[in-house]
């Protein structure tokens, strides 16, 4: 049985560029630039000073609010300085700049030889101390995500191994090469949330990963591999719950409202590493790919590594890049330069020639209805976008603009090349700003 959801599109997958390339450690730069904001919520509060000697895994930023995250050094060495730099989201945020001494002297959390014997609270505490955040791109602090309100119990954990964005293969390789670690990480999520069932959702275009997961799943109780029909955005949280659990997250609601919790397979591996080996979140798997990359790769990169450094590890590009995207081509963000660095949410870095970087010329909407037909949230993208263009935020909100998951399917399918997602994003931003002002 294959699972899926209503709507969606089928962009060219382009996985073949890197899906057969095994994981390897990326070279470590002589200097890392570690942002204090790598997550949804308040930036971490810096707890080191210029000139301090730090160890790999040492806390250098402490969570400053309930929705926040600890930040740890990815190398051992000396703090060069702390200054604001541009991040991948286009913000100027504080970065702790550390000169790497090359020794990798560690300061990890305590190890636990039998991770599944820990209590739910112990697992939650470790997730918080280790600075875990959602590694599928959303970067929501894991400690918060696994602490639902008492009146909204979770009975089902879904690990997201769909990796539905074109080009990206980091999760694929992780499942293929570290399958049992991922499964144990999922079981730790189950225990932390007192859930009774674990599903691991994988698209059918990754048969080797499905086979590998099925090899290890029978060793554990209540673990099921959910084979997903290959379709974008199959890996979106709400669509995954719809496909696997046959439940719908209510408008304005959260997965908690369905009794489900969705976690990325990379986050599951990070939780396993934190509980078993005491390792904070100081590195992650990143795919460096694109049609002009000389040797597309999947590397385990230290947090704070500049994009330019990783491009060198992939052999550079065959021609000058016209666009560089952090993340996937559908939901990722174009970058101004290669000085930005790997963070907890960096799943991939894509390089494209100028010929693939130009937008089509916008034409008048012909009311074909394709964007409505494929919208996975059952919205009317053209209506929301039109009211956004006219700055009619109240009407955009009445048409459920805030329910948009920003998958970009509407823009991709639009034969008139209208920037639907850009306009819907603006509407969401303006509506949220009005709401915040109203509360104040």
Give all domains of the chain, ordered by start, each with its CATH number.
Answer: 1-27+116-353 (3.40.50.11540), 370-439 (no CATH)
% of the chain at pLDDT higher than 90: 94
Whether the per-residue pLDDT at 314 is higher than 90: the answer is yes
For residue 3, the model assigns a pLDDT of 82
The confidence score (pLDDT) of residue 1 equals 63
Q: Rounded mean pLDDT of 245-266? A: 94
Cα–Cα dist 358/349, whole Å: 18
- Across 9-16, average pLDDT: 97
Which residues 6+ apart lie within 8 Å of 40 measured at CB? 67, 133, 138, 139, 140, 141
Tokens for 250?
A: 């209510």
Q: Is the pLDDT reported for residue 252 higher than 90?
A: no
Phi/psi zone of residue 369: left (φ > 0), alpha (ψ -120 to 50 degrees), beta?
left
Find the mean pLDDT for residues 293-322: 96
Q: Is the pLDDT of residue 355 over 90?
A: no
Is residue 3 within 8 A of residue 243, CB to CB? The reply is yes
User: Would the pLDDT of 317 be above 70?
Assistant: yes
Q: What confidence score (pLDDT) does residue 360 get?
A: 85
Please give the residue that has the higher pLDDT: either 440 or 325: 325
- Alpha-carbon dihedral 249, 255, 260, 265, rounded to 10 degrees: 120
- pLDDT tens digits along 119-129: 999 999 999 99
- In this prediction, residue 440 carries a pLDDT of 64
Residue 364: asked if its preceding bond is cis (omega within 30°), the reply is no
The CA-based angle 185-187-192, given to 5 degrees, is 95
**Residue 174 pLDDT greater than 70, yes or no:** yes
d(CA 106, CA 58): 8
Q: What pLDDT digit, counting tens, does each position of 22-42 carry? A: 999 999 999 999 999 999 999
- Residue 204 has phi, psi (to 5 degrees) of -70, -5
Q: Is the pLDDT of residue 2 over 70?
A: yes
Query: How confident is the model at residue 52, as a pLDDT?
Result: 98
In the predicted model, is pLDDT for residue 439 greater than 90? no
- Higher per-residue confidence, 356 vs 340: 340
Q: What is the DSSP letter of 358?
A: P
* pLDDT tens, residue by residue, 181-237: 999 999 999 999 999 999 999 999 999 999 999 999 999 999 999 999 999 999 999
CB atoms closer than 10 angstroms to residue 153: 12
Q: What is the pLDDT of residue 92?
A: 95
pLDDT above 70 as % of the chain: 100
Mean pLDDT value of segment 132-150: 93
């Amino acid at each position: 049985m294959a699972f899926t959801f209503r709507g969606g599109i089928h962009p060219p997958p382009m996985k073949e560029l890197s899906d057969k390339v095994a994981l390897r450690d990326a070279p470590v730069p002589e200097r890392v630039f570690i942002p204090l904001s790598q997550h949804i919520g308040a930036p971490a509060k810096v707890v080191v000073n210029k000139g301090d000697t730090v160890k790999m895994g040492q806390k250098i930023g402490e969570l400053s609010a309930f929705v926040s995250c600890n930040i740890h050094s990815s190398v051992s060495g000396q703090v060069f300085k702390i200054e604001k730099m541009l991040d991948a989201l286009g913000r100027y945020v504080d970065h702790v700049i550390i000169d790497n001494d090359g020794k990798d002297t560690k300061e990890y959390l305590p190890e636990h030889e039998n991770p599944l014997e820990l209590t739910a609270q112990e697992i939650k505490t470790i997730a918080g101390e280790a600075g875990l955040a959602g590694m599928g791109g959303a970067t929501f602090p894991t400690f918060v995500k696994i602490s639902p309100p008492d009146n909204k119990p979770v009975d089902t954990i879904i690990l997201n191994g769909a990796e539905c964005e074109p080009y990206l293969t980091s999760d694929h390789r992780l499942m293929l090469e570290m399958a049992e670690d991922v499964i144990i990480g999922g079981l730790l999520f189950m225990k932390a949330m007192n859930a009774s069932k674990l599903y691991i959702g994988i698209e059918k275009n990754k048969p080797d990963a499905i086979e590998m997961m099925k090899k290890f799943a029978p060793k554990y109780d209540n673990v099921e591999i959910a084979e997903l029909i290959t379709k974008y955005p199959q890996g979106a949280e709400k669509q995954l719950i719809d496909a696997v659990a046959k439940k719908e997250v209510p408008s304005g609601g959260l997965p908690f409202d369905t009794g489900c919790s969705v976690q990325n397979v990379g986050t599951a591996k990070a939780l396993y590493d934190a509980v078993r080996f005491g390792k904070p979140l100081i590195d992650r798997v990143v795919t460096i790919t694109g049609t002009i990359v000389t040797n597309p790769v999947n590397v385990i990169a230290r947090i704070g590594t500049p994009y330019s450094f990783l491009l060198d590890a992939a052999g550079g590009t065959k021609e000058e890049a016209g666009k560089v995207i952090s993340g996937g081509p559908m939901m990722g963000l174009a970058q101004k330069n290669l000085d930005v660095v790997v963070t907890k949410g960096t799943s991939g870095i894509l390089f494209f020639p100028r010929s693939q970087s130009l937008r089509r010329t916008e034409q008048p909407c012909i009311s074909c209805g394709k964007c409505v037909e494929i919208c996975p949230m059952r919205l009317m993208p053209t209506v929301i976008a039109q009211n956004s263009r006219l700055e009619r935020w109240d009407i955009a909100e009445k048409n459920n603009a805030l329910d948009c998951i920003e998958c970009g399917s509407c823009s991709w399918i639009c034969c008139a090349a209208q920037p639907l997602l850009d306009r819907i994003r603006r509407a969401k931003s303006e509506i949220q700003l009005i709401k915040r002002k109203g509360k104040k």
